[in-house]
Amino acid sequence: DVKVTQSSRYLVKRTGEKVFLECVQDMDHENMFWYRQDPGLGLRLIYFSYDVKMKEKGDIPEGYSVSREKKERFSLILESASTNQTSMYLCASSLISEETQYFGPGTRLLVL
Amino acid sequence: GESVGLHLPTLSVQEGDNSIINCAYSNSASDYFIWYKQESGKGPQFIIDIRSNMDKRQGQRVTVLLNKTVKHLSLQIAATQPGDSAVYFCAETPSSGSARQLTFGSGTQLTVLP
Protein backbone atom coordinates (compact mmCIF):
# COMPACT_ATOMS: atom_id res chain seq x y z
CA ASP A 1 0.00 0.00 0.00
CA VAL A 2 1.11 3.52 -0.74
CA LYS A 3 1.90 5.51 2.32
CA VAL A 4 2.11 9.28 2.31
CA THR A 5 2.88 10.90 5.62
CA GLN A 6 2.88 14.53 6.65
CA SER A 7 4.98 15.90 9.45
CA SER A 8 2.18 17.45 11.50
CA ARG A 9 -1.58 16.99 11.76
CA TYR A 10 -2.18 20.36 13.40
CA LEU A 11 -0.02 23.45 13.47
CA VAL A 12 -0.52 26.90 14.99
CA LYS A 13 1.79 29.72 13.87
CA ARG A 14 1.92 33.48 14.18
CA THR A 15 1.81 35.95 11.33
CA GLY A 16 5.26 36.49 9.85
CA GLU A 17 6.68 33.16 11.00
CA LYS A 18 8.42 30.83 8.57
CA VAL A 19 6.55 27.54 8.32
CA PHE A 20 7.79 24.20 7.02
CA LEU A 21 5.42 21.42 6.07
CA GLU A 22 7.02 18.13 5.19
CA CYS A 23 5.70 15.22 3.18
CA VAL A 24 7.25 11.78 2.77
CA GLN A 25 6.13 8.93 0.51
CA ASP A 26 7.45 5.39 0.58
CA MET A 27 6.48 4.12 -2.87
CA ASP A 28 9.27 5.61 -4.99
CA HIS A 29 6.83 7.93 -6.75
CA GLU A 30 8.31 10.50 -9.09
CA ASN A 31 5.50 13.05 -8.81
CA MET A 32 4.65 14.90 -5.63
CA PHE A 33 2.07 17.61 -5.10
CA TRP A 34 1.02 20.18 -2.53
CA TYR A 35 -2.59 21.35 -2.34
CA ARG A 36 -4.56 23.51 -0.04
CA GLN A 37 -8.17 22.78 0.72
CA ASP A 38 -10.68 25.44 1.77
CA PRO A 39 -14.45 25.15 2.27
CA GLY A 40 -16.32 25.62 -0.99
CA LEU A 41 -13.11 25.90 -3.04
CA GLY A 42 -12.05 22.28 -3.26
CA LEU A 43 -8.43 21.30 -3.68
CA ARG A 44 -6.18 23.89 -5.28
CA LEU A 45 -2.70 23.02 -6.49
CA ILE A 46 0.10 25.08 -5.00
CA TYR A 47 3.23 23.41 -6.42
CA PHE A 48 4.24 20.07 -7.81
CA SER A 49 7.45 18.26 -8.58
CA TYR A 50 8.14 15.49 -11.08
CA ASP A 51 11.72 14.80 -10.08
CA VAL A 52 14.35 15.62 -7.49
CA LYS A 53 15.20 19.33 -7.53
CA MET A 54 12.45 19.98 -10.09
CA LYS A 55 9.40 22.05 -9.27
CA GLU A 56 6.57 23.69 -11.12
CA LYS A 57 4.02 26.24 -10.02
CA GLY A 58 0.45 25.20 -9.65
CA ASP A 59 -2.59 27.44 -9.62
CA ILE A 60 -1.84 29.37 -6.42
CA PRO A 61 1.94 29.49 -5.77
CA GLU A 62 2.06 33.02 -4.34
CA GLY A 63 3.38 33.12 -0.80
CA TYR A 64 4.76 29.57 -0.98
CA SER A 65 7.93 27.83 -2.03
CA VAL A 66 8.91 24.16 -2.17
CA SER A 67 11.96 21.98 -1.89
CA ARG A 68 12.61 18.49 -3.25
CA GLU A 69 16.11 17.38 -2.31
CA LYS A 70 15.27 13.68 -2.12
CA LYS A 71 12.83 11.66 -4.17
CA GLU A 72 10.72 10.62 -1.21
CA ARG A 73 10.46 14.04 0.42
CA PHE A 74 8.67 17.21 -0.68
CA SER A 75 8.57 20.26 1.57
CA LEU A 76 6.23 23.23 1.43
CA ILE A 77 7.55 26.48 2.87
CA LEU A 78 5.59 29.53 3.90
CA GLU A 79 8.29 32.22 3.99
CA SER A 80 6.20 34.63 6.05
CA ALA A 81 2.90 33.16 7.17
CA SER A 82 -0.22 35.25 6.83
CA THR A 83 -3.72 34.73 8.18
CA ASN A 84 -5.07 33.99 4.70
CA GLN A 85 -2.83 30.93 4.62
CA THR A 86 -4.90 29.31 7.35
CA SER A 87 -6.05 26.14 5.63
CA MET A 88 -5.83 22.39 5.32
CA TYR A 89 -2.68 21.40 3.41
CA LEU A 90 -2.61 18.10 1.56
CA CYS A 91 0.35 16.34 0.03
CA ALA A 92 -0.02 13.72 -2.70
CA SER A 93 2.21 11.53 -4.82
CA SER A 94 1.92 9.51 -8.01
CA LEU A 95 3.99 7.50 -10.44
CA ILE A 96 5.36 9.45 -13.40
CA SER A 97 3.20 7.47 -15.83
CA GLU A 98 -0.02 7.33 -13.84
CA GLU A 99 -2.74 9.77 -12.96
CA THR A 100 -3.88 8.36 -9.63
CA GLN A 101 -2.62 10.49 -6.77
CA TYR A 102 -2.32 9.17 -3.24
CA PHE A 103 -2.85 11.61 -0.43
CA GLY A 104 -1.45 12.09 3.02
CA PRO A 105 -3.67 12.78 6.05
CA GLY A 106 -3.33 16.54 5.78
CA THR A 107 -1.97 19.31 8.01
CA ARG A 108 -4.43 21.78 9.42
CA LEU A 109 -2.58 25.08 9.75
CA LEU A 110 -3.88 28.00 11.75
CA VAL A 111 -2.07 31.34 11.38
CA LEU A 112 -2.86 33.83 14.12
CA GLY B 1 -11.01 28.20 -17.78
CA GLU B 2 -11.82 24.55 -17.42
CA SER B 3 -13.81 23.49 -14.44
CA VAL B 4 -15.06 20.41 -12.74
CA GLY B 5 -18.16 20.80 -10.66
CA LEU B 6 -20.81 18.94 -8.78
CA HIS B 7 -24.56 19.26 -9.08
CA LEU B 8 -25.32 19.24 -5.36
CA PRO B 9 -23.16 20.17 -2.39
CA THR B 10 -25.00 17.82 0.02
CA LEU B 11 -26.82 14.51 -0.25
CA SER B 12 -28.68 12.59 2.47
CA VAL B 13 -29.71 8.97 2.01
CA GLN B 14 -31.22 6.30 4.21
CA GLU B 15 -28.97 3.47 5.28
CA GLY B 16 -29.37 0.61 2.84
CA ASP B 17 -30.49 2.80 -0.06
CA ASN B 18 -28.38 3.46 -3.13
CA SER B 19 -26.56 6.80 -3.46
CA ILE B 20 -25.85 8.66 -6.67
CA ILE B 21 -23.36 11.51 -6.68
CA ASN B 22 -23.03 13.53 -9.85
CA CYS B 23 -20.24 15.53 -11.41
CA ALA B 24 -20.06 17.71 -14.52
CA TYR B 25 -16.85 18.57 -16.31
CA SER B 26 -16.15 21.03 -19.09
CA ASN B 27 -12.82 19.95 -20.58
CA SER B 28 -13.57 17.88 -23.65
CA ALA B 29 -9.91 16.78 -23.69
CA SER B 30 -10.29 15.00 -20.34
CA ASP B 31 -9.46 11.34 -20.70
CA TYR B 32 -9.20 10.10 -17.15
CA PHE B 33 -11.59 10.54 -14.24
CA ILE B 34 -11.30 9.58 -10.63
CA TRP B 35 -13.47 9.60 -7.53
CA TYR B 36 -12.09 10.23 -4.07
CA LYS B 37 -13.70 9.87 -0.65
CA GLN B 38 -12.64 12.16 2.17
CA GLU B 39 -13.72 11.43 5.72
CA SER B 40 -13.68 14.15 8.31
CA GLY B 41 -10.15 15.07 9.34
CA LYS B 42 -8.50 12.75 6.82
CA GLY B 43 -6.93 13.01 3.41
CA PRO B 44 -8.79 11.95 0.23
CA GLN B 45 -8.84 8.23 -0.50
CA PHE B 46 -9.00 6.75 -3.99
CA ILE B 47 -12.30 4.96 -4.68
CA ILE B 48 -12.52 4.21 -8.39
CA ASP B 49 -11.37 5.58 -11.72
CA ILE B 50 -12.42 5.38 -15.36
CA ARG B 51 -10.87 6.24 -18.70
CA SER B 52 -12.67 7.99 -21.50
CA ASN B 53 -12.74 4.87 -23.66
CA MET B 54 -15.16 3.30 -21.15
CA ASP B 55 -18.64 4.33 -20.06
CA LYS B 56 -18.98 2.18 -16.95
CA ARG B 57 -16.72 0.62 -14.40
CA GLN B 58 -17.61 -1.33 -11.28
CA GLY B 59 -15.85 -1.85 -8.02
CA GLN B 60 -16.92 -3.22 -4.70
CA ARG B 61 -20.37 -1.62 -4.06
CA VAL B 62 -19.41 1.33 -6.30
CA THR B 63 -20.01 2.02 -9.97
CA VAL B 64 -18.80 4.95 -12.01
CA LEU B 65 -20.68 6.00 -15.11
CA LEU B 66 -19.24 8.32 -17.74
CA ASN B 67 -21.33 10.13 -20.34
CA LYS B 68 -18.93 11.92 -22.64
CA THR B 69 -21.69 13.37 -24.78
CA VAL B 70 -22.95 15.57 -21.96
CA LYS B 71 -19.65 15.61 -20.01
CA HIS B 72 -21.17 14.00 -16.96
CA LEU B 73 -19.77 11.57 -14.42
CA SER B 74 -21.60 9.82 -11.63
CA LEU B 75 -20.69 7.65 -8.67
CA GLN B 76 -23.21 5.10 -7.51
CA ILE B 77 -22.87 3.50 -4.09
CA ALA B 78 -24.98 0.42 -3.49
CA ALA B 79 -26.55 -0.33 -0.10
CA THR B 80 -25.14 2.81 1.50
CA GLN B 81 -23.69 2.28 4.96
CA PRO B 82 -22.92 4.71 7.81
CA GLY B 83 -19.23 4.38 6.99
CA ASP B 84 -19.93 5.87 3.57
CA SER B 85 -20.66 9.27 5.15
CA ALA B 86 -17.95 11.54 3.77
CA VAL B 87 -17.21 14.17 1.14
CA TYR B 88 -16.87 12.75 -2.36
CA PHE B 89 -14.78 14.48 -5.04
CA CYS B 90 -14.50 13.89 -8.71
CA ALA B 91 -11.31 14.82 -10.53
CA GLU B 92 -10.22 14.76 -14.12
CA THR B 93 -7.09 15.11 -16.18
CA PRO B 94 -6.49 15.70 -19.86
CA SER B 95 -4.50 13.32 -21.99
CA SER B 96 -1.42 15.54 -21.91
CA GLY B 97 0.28 17.87 -19.48
CA SER B 98 3.13 17.63 -17.08
CA ALA B 99 2.90 15.34 -14.07
CA ARG B 100 -0.67 14.43 -15.04
CA GLN B 101 -2.27 17.13 -12.92
CA LEU B 102 -5.77 16.55 -11.64
CA THR B 103 -8.52 19.16 -11.56
CA PHE B 104 -10.84 18.60 -8.61
CA GLY B 105 -14.48 19.40 -8.06
CA SER B 106 -15.54 21.06 -4.82
CA GLY B 107 -17.12 17.94 -3.35
CA THR B 108 -20.49 16.55 -2.24
CA GLN B 109 -21.13 15.83 1.43
CA LEU B 110 -22.91 12.47 1.72
CA THR B 111 -24.79 11.87 4.96
CA VAL B 112 -26.20 8.42 5.70
CA LEU B 113 -29.32 8.52 7.87
CA PRO B 114 -30.13 5.63 10.24
pLDDT of B96 reads 59
Q: What are the tens digits of pLDDT across the range A16-35? A: 999 999 999 999 999 999 99
Contact state of B41 with A106 under an 8 Å Cβ cutoff: yes
Contact state of B43 with A4 under an 8 Å Cβ cutoff: yes
Number of residues in chain B:
114
User: What gap in Å lies between CA A42 and CA A53, rounded to an integer?
Assistant: 28
Q: What are the tens digits of pLDDT across the range A34-80? A: 999 988 788 999 999 999 999 999 999 999 999 999 999 999 999 99
Contact criterion met (CB below 8 Å) for B102 and B4: no
From the number of C-beta atoms within 10 Å of its C-beta (0-12, 13-18, 19+), residue B14 rates as: exposed
Query: Does residue A87 register a pLDDT over 90?
Result: yes
Contact criterion met (CB below 8 Å) for A20 and A32: no
Higher pLDDT, B98 or B48: B48
State the pLDDT confidence band at B1, using cuts at 50, 70 and 90.
Answer: very low
Q: Cβ of A61 under 8 Å from any chain B Cβ?
A: no
Most confident of the following: B19-33, B65-79, B94-108? B65-79
Chain A nearest-CA distance from B69, in A, is 23
Q: Which long-range contacts (CB under 8 A, 24 or more apart) does B65-68 make?
A: B66/B33
Chain A nearest-CA distance from B99, in A, is 6
Q: Cβ of B70 under 8 Å from any chain A Cβ?
A: no
